[in-house]
Amino acid sequence: MPELPEVETVCRTLRKRLRGARILHVRVIEGRLRQPVAADFAARLEGRKVEAVSRRGKYIVTDLEGGWSWVSHLGMSGKLTFRERDASVEKHDHLVFTLDDGAELRYHDPRRFGLCVVLPSRELDAWPPFARLGPDPLDRRFTGDYLYPLLHRSRRSVRDLLLDQQIVCGLGNIYINEVLFRIGIRPTRRSHRLSRLATAELVRETRALLREAIRWRGSSVSDYRDGNDHRGGFQWRLQVYDRKGAPCYGCGAAIKRIGLGNRGAFYCPRCQR
């Protein structure tokens, strides 16, 4: 699933071309996504100019004239990419947005776990998926003072707690594994065992890691592509994620993988305690 750096990169590539563009036509080829595409989805978008493109956690928010917002989530395998209007429609191109500059923006999603909805902008904060989101890890509200009490009260593993989008939104398995390696903590460590000092380091390194990954345009470990259908580059800088059996870049020990929840967790048995 695309995580914060990937979604931020998609937003930045979309913003350059979408802001100020008008959506002339919307074609719904396959509406059976995680939440079925509404019958009036196309009508709410057609003819409207795009005013802004932003991110909330792993969601893409496209603000339109007239007080409407188009919210997208890429799910496990979704992409929003620009295509020339005469390019052939590919398998799993479910939504096609024709723009006034002659190009098309296409929503492509083989697994159909994504989401595309249009709702009044004034209702965004109260929309249930947004109302439940915790602070963004790049937001000033995400501090050690905020996170420590939540860790201290929990018996969950620190990896699982950080995956909870109600605690902090935008983080996923890739970057949680990576930041825990950076601070020398195993993903299985119980949250309440982290000290205030370790929590402050966790927050600081999370911010640094995410900003670095954004500079490299995210990690293309699977389906992820940016709005121009280009791969990211941070996958070549991952230290532990998806490196089971490979030598740790720090100490040479073999990276281990364990099942934690319904996802794999990766760590170095020597560098992380």
First CA to last CA distance, the chain: 27
State the CB neighbour count (10 A cutoff) for residue 271. 19
Is position 263 annotated as part of the catalytic site?
yes
**177, 185 Cβ separation under 8 angstroms:** no
Is position 91 annotated as part of the catalytic site?
no
Sheet with strand 50-56: strands edge to edge: 50-56, 59-64, 68-73, 115-120
**8, 221 Cβ separation under 8 angstroms:** no
- Any alpha helices (H) in the chain, and if so which ranges? 4-18, 41-45, 128-131, 144-152, 158-163, 173-182, 196-215
**192, 155 Cβ separation under 8 angstroms:** yes
**56, 169 Cβ separation under 8 angstroms:** yes
Out of 22, 49, 204, 263, pick the active-site residue: 263
Question: Which of 239, 271, 226, 264 minimizes the C-alpha distance to 81?
Answer: 226
Out of 44, 58, 182, 243, pick the active-site residue: 58
Is position 58 annotated as part of the catalytic site?
yes
Out of 2, 5, 137, 187, pick the active-site residue: 2
**105, 81 Cβ separation under 8 angstroms:** yes
Q: In the numeric block, which tokens belong to residue 188?
A: 């299985």
Is position 2 annotated as part of the catalytic site?
yes
Out of 3, 6, 104, 178, pick the active-site residue: 3
**88, 42 Cβ separation under 8 angstroms:** no
Active site residues: 2-3, 58, 263
